[in-house]
Structure 1
C-alpha cells in the first residue's frame, strides 16, 4: 500500500464519526465507574475485529467520593463543586473555614494561607507558561492551607474538575468550583466544606492490540479512555480513541510488510496523574521496552485550529514528525520541552521517543478551554476537524512504521 492510499482510506473511513459518537455515548468514563467499564468493553470489541486484544490490568490508587459539598455560611447557599480526584477527606462533620483569594495561585502566592481555604485560578492547560493545578495544590498544602479550591475562569460553565495527584498520600481537601462561586468567595467568606472520600486499592484495564511487522520493533499508538463525570469527555479523549480505532483499521492490512509493527494501547487512570501507563510500562522488561521505537499519543486532537506535537525533549523527533505531516500537506507545530500532561511522558521517562498529538496548543480561546468541565461534549467537536487531525496522525504513523531503522534509532537522541 502506498502512503497516499493509506491516508485516503483514513479520509474515507465512515467509522470515525460513528466510533466518536459511540465513545461519547458511554459517558464521562471516570475511572472505576460503570461508564469507564462500558468504554473499555466497547474499545476491546472494536479493536478485537482486527486481531487478538490483550488486557493487562495494572494497579492505581483508587478513590471513591461519597459526598462533596461547599456551603456559604452567611446565606446557607450550597455552591456547585467538583471534588478533585483522590483528594484528602474532611472530618465527617466537615470544616468551617475562612476563604482567601490567592489570585493565580502560583508558588509564592500563599503567604497568608495557613488555616484557610484558598482560591486559585484554573489556567488554560496547553500553553508553555501554564502552572498546573497539582503544582498549585502542592504549594498551597506546603503553605499550610486547610483546603484548596480551584476556580473555573469562564462564567456559565460550572465547576472545573481534575486530579489532586495525592494517590493515597498526605493531602488537603480540594475541589473545583465555578467562576460564579469563585467571584463570591473571593470577597472573603466563611464556608462549610465537606468532602467524604475513601481510598482503596484498584486496577485499571490496559488494552493492547499487536499487529506484527517484518522486524521486532513496534510503533506504539496510544490513547487514554478515562475521563471525568461532568460531561462526555469528548475532546479529552473520545477524539483520540476514535482516531486510534480509525488508524488501526487503516493500518491492519499492510503492517505485516512494514519494517516495524504496530502496538495500539488504550490506557486507563490517565486522569489520575498518568498512573495507568506508568504502571504498565514499569512492568515491561527492559528488553521488551527496547523494542518500542516511538510512541504517538493521541490525546485531545480536535477542538482547536492547529495541531501540535509535544515531543518530550527529543530534539530529532520534532523535525521527523513535521516532515511526515508535510507529506500530506499538513502544518504540524512542535513543542520540544517535556510536558507531563499525558501518557507520552511515561514513555519518555524510559528513554522511548514520545510525542503527544494535541489540538489548540497556545490557543486559549479554543474549545479545549472546556476540558474538565460539563461543556466537554460532542457538540463542541467539529467532525471535519477530527478527520483532518486523524489524517495527520496517519501521516505520522506511516512514517514511523516505514522509516529506516537508522533514522528511528537517531530519534532517541535528546541533543
Structure 2
C-alpha cells in the first residue's frame, strides 16, 4: 500500500490560485465520491482511501492506494474537478509519497507548516476533514491509522514544546495593520462579516482596543447576535451591507461564500459617501469575499490572508528552538509509523499461509475420520495423520531449498533455521 499527499499551500501558490481549488466543507463528501469513482471507472484496483483537507492556506488530498500512477491520476482529477488545466496547476503542486506524506501530516497538525507558527485552528480543520472522509466511506485502515497517530503527535508537540507560545495570530496581525492606518482604533467603527472561528478571534482582538462601534454582519442574524454579545457589539443582517458599508472605517470579512460578497461597485459607492475617508479592509476568506480589484481604489487599504502572513512571520524566528524540538518528536513518530506500515505489508502473506495450512489440516482430518469410521486402529490413524500433515507442511520449504541457487540456499537455510531451530550444516549433505 502506498501513501500519497498531493496539494498546494501558502508556500507554493498565491491566494488567487488557492481559492480556485478550495473545497467548501459541504462539498467534501461528494468530491470524495467523485474521486473514488474515478478509480473504479479506470482501474481494476480497489478505490483508494482518501481524505481532503481544505483551508484558507491549503488544499491537500491524502491517499492510500496500490495504484503506482496515483500521483498523475490525483493531479488530473484535482485539475478537472476545479476546471483548471494540469499545466496551470502542476507548477504549484507538491506530491509527497510514503514517509514524506506521514511527516507532512504530522507537521501540519502540529502547526509547523502553518502561516501562523503553532496555531491550533488547523487541528480542528484536519479533524473535520477526517470526519467527512469517514462519513463518505473513504477512510480505511491506513488513513485512519495515519490520522489517529497524527492527532496524537500534535497533542504531544503542543504538550511538550513551546511552539505555540506567544504566537502572532492572524487576528493580532490585522490589528497591527489597522494601527498603521488609523492612529486610534478606539475612534473607528469596525464591521466583521461572518461569525465563524476566525471572525470571533479577530473580533476579540479588536474589541480589546475598545473601538467606537463593533458590528457583526451575518446571513443568520441569530448567530451574529450571539457573537456580538460576547464581544460587546451588536449585529446586523448581511443584507444591510450595501446600504451601510460607508459607515465603517474597518471591515474584516471571512465567510464560506464561494463567490465575492463585496464587489468593486459597492466599495466605490461607499468611498464616495465617506467623502474619501479611508477604509481598511481585511479579507481572510478563501475563496475571497472581496473582489481583488477593490485594492486598486484610492483610499482603500485591502489586505488578504497572504498579506497578513508576512507580518505573522516576523514573530516566528524567536521560536526556532521549540520548532527543532518539535521536529525531533515528529521524526521519531514518523519512523514508528513506517515500521507499522512495513508490518502491514506482510499481513496478506500471513493470512494466505494460515488459509493454506488450515486447508491442509481439514483434508488430513477428514481422511483420518474416514479411517476411524471404518474401524482402523486409532494409534495407526494418528500416526498417519501426523506424518502426512508434517510432510505437506514442510514440502514448500524443502522444494524451495532444492531449487535454490547457492546464494539463495544460504539465505533460505538461515531463515528456515530460525523457524525450526538451527541444524548443523554438512558440506556433504545432498539437496
Q: TM-score, normalised by structure 1?
A: 0.24
- Structure having the higher helix fraction is 2
Q: Which structure's CA Rg is the greater one?
A: 2
The structure, 1 or 2, with the larger RCO (C-alpha pairs under 8 Å, 6+ apart) is 1
- Structure having the higher strand fraction is 1
